[in-house]
Amino acid sequence: MRVGILGFGQFGRALGGLMEEAGVPYRALDPRADIPALVQASDLRGLVAEADLVALAVPVLALPGVLDTVAPLLEPGQVVFDVASVKVLPARWMAERLGDLPRAGAHPLFGPMSLVRAERPIRTVVCPDPACPGAAERVSALFGALGCEVLVQTPEDHDRVMATTHALTFFLAKGLLDAGAGADLPFAPPSFHAVQRTLETVREDASHLFAAIQNLNPFAAEARTRLLEALGAIHAGLEAAGQGGPVPAALALPDLGQRSPALQEIREGIDAVDRDLVALLARRAELSRRAGRAKAALGAPVLDPVREAAVMAERRAWATAAGLDPETATDVFQTVIRASRRDQGQA
């Protein structure tokens, strides 16, 4: 399975990094990017000629021109796929420009920063073209080899879901930022912390994605309209109620019903924290494996007593500052460090 990546911006580079980790051979081409010599294709013809699959990691609006350029170089056995965050338009453009050549759509539901943080699981949506049987299976096999969970959707179903998730999240984030919610605040209640994390995540994505997600998804405008109508109705209802007036039942936030006695609520909170801890431990293990590979490349030993002592002292200090028993922190991090040594040795 040889892959040609056309476009080596933030995502193209991240995709190449996943392929290196998985041992999938690839070449890349991008006249505006700094590409390592070992994987740099000499030209477009050479990139396509060596590839079993050609990944188009270019801005969405650049796809028609890129497809026109790539199409004459393709052979019937090769598969072309895009990695755009919208799917209806790219599917239409590929059908118009590639004719009978095998193709599929893909939307990796991760980005460079989520890979750096070793967030798991990583998922990819693959959108088959009924006119190209077998092409989507080959794209799915590639992402499976990269460690992804693969979800199969039609382009229309994908964009509908993205309109009420991805597009609305970016839309809300932009509104909150413009309203001052993203400014440095001296304090914030816990209810805002999750919103703050969302704002940070959205701001990590490339700025050009905002307009593409909103304007190139055929269902995004309708989703925004429904949200604005709902917010307008809530605002009008609150204005009508006035200060100190009774809040209409329609404006009340639904509670948890019978699931909200104090103990159950606390237990659910503990479960949520434990899920976060497990996810964080998985991320730390992945980072440890990466550290092991980096040490191996340098010829450095896995065991680093000086670093481990410094880590332990720092974690004890963090625990003390947080009001946690430092001995408890010591017990936890001794176990974590032992696991880290094991992970690095297996890298």
Question: Alpha carbon 48 to chain centroid distance?
Answer: 27
| Structure confidence at residue 237 (pLDDT) | 86
Mind listing the domains of the chain with CATH numbers?
3-153 (3.40.50.720), 159-241 (no CATH), 261-346 (1.20.59.10)
Each residue of 3-40: b (16+ CB within 10 Å) or e?
bbbbbbbbbbbbbbebbeeeebebbbbbeeeebeeebb
Q: How many CB atoms lie within 10 A of CB 107?
A: 23
Distances (CA, A) of 331 to 284, 328, 334, 335: 17, 5, 5, 7
| Structure confidence at residue 260 (pLDDT) | 57
Tens of each residue's pLDDT in the chain, 347 residues: 899 999 999 899 999 999 999 999 999 999 999 999 999 999 999 999 999 999 999 999 999 999 999 999 999 999 999 999 999 999 999 999 999 999 999 999 988 877 777 777 899 999 999 999 999 999 999 999 999 999 999 999 999 999 999 999 999 999 998 898 877 777 888 888 888 888 888 887 656 688 889 999 999 999 999 999 999 998 988 888 777 666 677 777 766 665 556 667 678 788 889 999 999 999 999 999 998 888 888 888 888 889 999 999 999 999 999 999 989 999 999 999 988 888 887 65
| Structure confidence at residue 257 (pLDDT) | 62
DSSP 70-128: HGGG--TT-EEEE--S--HHHHHHHHHHHTTS-EEEEEES--HHHHHTT-S-EEEEEEE
The tens digit of pLDDT for each residue in 289-333 reads 998 888 888 888 888 889 999 999 999 999 999 999 989 999 999
What does the radius of gyration of the chain's CA atoms come to, in whole angstroms?
Answer: 24
| Structure confidence at residue 229 (pLDDT) | 96
The dihedral through the CA atoms of 304, 306, 312, 317 has a sign that is negative
| Structure confidence at residue 213 (pLDDT) | 92
Q: Indicate the helix (H) or strand (E) that contains 330.
A: helix 326-346
